[in-house]
Structure 1
């Protein structure tokens, strides 16, 4: 009784469907279907049709929901796969670039008459007072000494400024306290290449020397630090005032994206740093 009181509509529908299912059985064996049987059959069409449509709708929605869940899972997996492939492609590209750099570095290393040590640049300047320096992963334990020249396959990078046990600070040639004795490769005109903070300038060039934009500037080997004939950079502008010649230089080595360098294991003849 409690069920009938609590769910009267449900109970009524169940009894109705039960009735319309067994009612036509009472007419089996007769030649004609009675008017009442046809009425019951017609009447039962609508609830049966509703039940069918609702059941089909629920089945369709459930099927779509399952497909949607699967699609989302597949989409998530595909995104992860694409991300993984992109990372692998990026890593392969980085390895390719590194191999190309190391190959050029090795070829350049074989042209030098001195022993060298390959080092990785691991950090930028640690000091607020010196912005034009980098840190390498080689130090005193590897035989590094202050004043040793540092190069890469493109040319002069700088020189060792400070040495720790396992690392060293490199003063770049663009630092204002850096100075390199050099000459114009084409005319052999000598001068001193100093850092300007974002480039270099060649000063104290002999009067009436022939200097033009595009000229290559190389080390002279007379400053006690750098070996002779290593590329410094290219003249991008020439200034002449009161007979004094200044040649502004763009370093050939890309000092903003250094990754591997060579430390030339040459004991500096000059132990006095520019101050």
Structure 2
């Protein structure tokens, strides 16, 4: 395995990860106040471990999967441990994006036991959340395997955790299409009402942000045709039955990318994908994924 803390290929910046690690540990150790720079001073805030564990006691802790799934966030979890135990030795047992089974050891950390236990919950919260999203995403990707459609996430993310959660979607085989309000223009019914028409809204966006891709929400085949003729790059096909989606694909397929959304479930995912749309947009990937159950098992000595 490579360096367990390596962020290469994650798309996550060093600065953002460092800030997340600090914020997450401070939430647990100082009630949100800035974390002491000295690891020993930070660990001292764990009143239970400080009272029950000698400062010189060393041990090895294993980050273990308690359920089958797809893992994500392991480099961030590793950095949580190193923040409180900078001299710890880390050994990777898995990498982000791997399918794992119950009982698999994902990461082993050898260091001061006080520090390992002080970091435990923060590391688990990050990795469990990210792995839950990756696992849920993989279920959707598997459900539509063999079709041309891809699974997309949305902006329905936990405040402050969007980079991590969208990275977790990628670990599960999904695709990020819109990171925020700045990189794709999404014209919905309220924008159309304010602008006066779909064409007016598209024109206004083109003039204001000529390099930004434009997506238009459509509820009917007629609206889909209107949006494409107005110059939309993508169509968001909202709450359309599979038969209607097939009609839209026949009318405008190839002239714009087509994204089905609204009311999608795993039970109908393949039927929707087989209509010929390019994407299935699933907000539940980030707003409703259960965590993947992970635990930290200490080996004394």
TM-score, normalization by structure 2 = 0.24
- Structure number having the greater strand percentage: 1
Question: Which of structures 1 and 2 has the larger relative contact order (alpha carbons within 8 angstroms, sep 6+)?
Answer: 2
TM-score (normalised: structure 1): 0.26
In terms of fraction of residues, the more helix-rich structure is 2
Larger gyration radius, structure 1 or structure 2: 1
